[in-house]
Amino acid sequence: MTLTVENVSVRIGGKALVDDVSLEVAKGETLGLVGPNGAGKSTLLRTLYRARKPTSGRVFLDGEDVRKMPSGWLARRLAAVLQETGGDFELTVYDVVAMGRTPHKRAFDGDNTEDKQIIADALARLDVEHLAHAPFDRLSGGEKQRVLIARALAQQPTTMVLDEPTNHLDLRHQLDALELVRDLEVTAVIALHDLNMAAAFCDRICVMDGGRVVSLSTPAEVLTPALLAEVYRVDADVTPHPETDVPHVILRTGGDQWKPSARPSKRSPSSAPSSP
């Protein structure tokens, strides 16, 4: 499904957490959402799955306003994987993953053979099948994250919104999680802090800062030393990876880094910065 964000702003107490953001994610595309802490990434994601109502603007799935969709209809098409777990559940891992099947069933329906197979497949793909009968609230942070991704997978959505899905995961499971999303060929928006992961797994990258879109294009066009200096206030080299040719960011250490007082003004997102 095509996901469209049209002039979305979110204001709280007169402060714009998200400021007039517009973008479109094509069917099957993976868009990486990056930027420093407080850039507005999580707030924007919350508007996509209706956890937060925009102060202005709208979000569309295949041309339909998500806020006007019946909850069940939306849940069968869009799954969200969040940073927070929503508290300690008195449920097993299997129970949590099985919750992903809820939008596809009527009230009080049990799991049929198809549901059980989908749940088993999701557990296996996230490498948590051995934890199926373990209490969810006793898992490590990384294990919980994998279970929540498995729940979203069991939901069988056409669109996924993921807020730092690699948070708490070790290197192997970071790669597994992002490869899984890519292989599903769903429309996906993923907030990430790791720019090299974003470059490796995302078709395009949207850089946010101060609630606004600073740059939106392919990883090669977005990830430049000039943009990293402007948005992150760091000195960095960006070189093509020797095997994949995707941009690889290497931070320079020990030198003078950008100070807030020296920060350049923002540019239009349509003008990608060039390397110095």
pLDDT > 80? residue 274? no
Continuous H helices in the chain: 41-48, 71-75, 93-98, 113-125, 141-154, 171-184, 195-201, 219-222, 225-231
186-241, pLDDT tens digit by residue? 999 999 999 999 999 999 999 999 999 999 999 999 999 999 999 999 999 999 98
Please report the DSSP string for 95-128 in residue order. HHHHGGGGGGS-TT----HHHHHHHHHHHHHTT-
Helix, strand counts (H, E) of the chain: 9, 12
d(Cα 159, Cα 206) in Å, to the nearest integer? 17
User: Residue 110: its pLDDT value, please?
Assistant: 80
Quote the mean pLDDT of the chain. Answer: 89
Question: Are residues 210 and 235 in contact, defined by beta-carbon separation less than 8 angstroms?
Answer: no
46-81, pLDDT tens digit by residue? 999 999 999 999 999 999 999 999 999 999 999 999
Question: Are residues 23 and 47 in contact, defined by beta-carbon separation less than 8 angstroms?
Answer: no
pLDDT > 90? residue 18? yes
Q: Are strands 64-65 and 236-240 parallel, antiparallel or unpaired?
A: unpaired
171-194, pLDDT tens digit by residue? 999 999 999 999 998 999 999 999
The whole-number average pLDDT for the span 113-127 is 96
pLDDT > 90? residue 259? no
Percentage, residues of the chain above pLDDT 70? 89
pLDDT > 90? residue 29? yes
Two tokens at 275?
């390397």
Closest CA to 96 of 81, 108, 109: 81
Mutual angle of helices 141-154 and 113-125, in 10-degree steps: 140
Percentage, residues of the chain above pLDDT 90? 80
Could you give all domains of the chain from N- to C-terminal order, each with its CATH number?
3-77+157-262 (3.40.50.300)
